[in-house]
Amino acid sequence: MKKTILATVGVALAAGLVSCTNSGIGDNPAPKLKQDPQSQQASASCDQPRAALKNSATESPKILRVDRFQDPHNFDIIFAQEANSSLRWSPSPNWDNMKEVMRAVNEVSPQSLDESEHRVPDSSTLTIESGKQSINYLSYFASTPATYEFSVSCLNGPETEYKFTYSTWGLDESGLLDCDVKLELDAPKIADEVIKKYC
């Protein structure tokens, strides 16, 4: 009986174990932050910054790339979407010790803070059975959006609480699908979505 060839790769949603993760915010320059032109900040620094995780949420996996094989070594990209992370403050501060503040946030963040683009591999990098790809096969890569909300306060201004939001990507998933073969019952939902949209 012909079976679907499906390789799924899971990456745990944990601090420092996600693609494009740095080893710590202290090892890299402070990320560029989106500024709120209406915000005001009286102090030039944030003394002894304190950060706390207030909320976290994940969405359903999103398809980021789909390739269609012409033969075992050639494929066409039929769908591709950028996957960026973002850092946002409300109100927007203007501290001169932003690196220290970001280190405090990073210490309580489930994932290391990184605003670089989430790496989306192409079909040549997927772990799949060699030589099985044909014109009826699709490869896909998907990832799970994740959002974390933090509160930040300073010793020299405890009455003001700043909201910091980090939007990024968590669990990654990839696979190889045969459009001529029905998916097995335990196949991932994202694989079924790829079949319905692109086969």
- Tens of pLDDT, residues 84-101: 889 999 998 989 999 999
Please tell me the predicted confidence (pLDDT) of residue 125: 54
Average confidence (pLDDT) over 36-58: 76
Please tell me the predicted confidence (pLDDT) of residue 117: 66
- Is pLDDT of 137 > 70? yes
Which position has the higher pLDDT, 30 or 57?
Answer: 57
Q: In the numeric block, which tokens belong to residue 122?
A: 């192409």
Q: In the numeric block, which tokens belong to residue 62?
A: 């999103």
Q: How confident is the model at residue 63 (pLDDT cuts 50, 70, 90)?
A: very high
Among 129, 141, 138, 194, CA closest to 172? 141
- Is pLDDT of 121 > 90? no
- Does the reported pTM lie above 0.85? no
Question: φ and ψ at 46, to 5 degrees?
Answer: -115, 105
Average confidence (pLDDT) over 124-144: 70
Average confidence (pLDDT) over 139-162: 93
Residue 153 near residue 50, CB atoms below 8 Å = yes
- Is pLDDT of 52 > 90? yes
The rounded mean pLDDT for the chain is 76
d(CA 85, CA 80): 16
Please tell me the predicted confidence (pLDDT) of residue 132: 57
Among 102, 100, 98, 105, CA closest to 44? 98
Question: φ and ψ at 89, to 5 degrees?
Answer: -110, 150
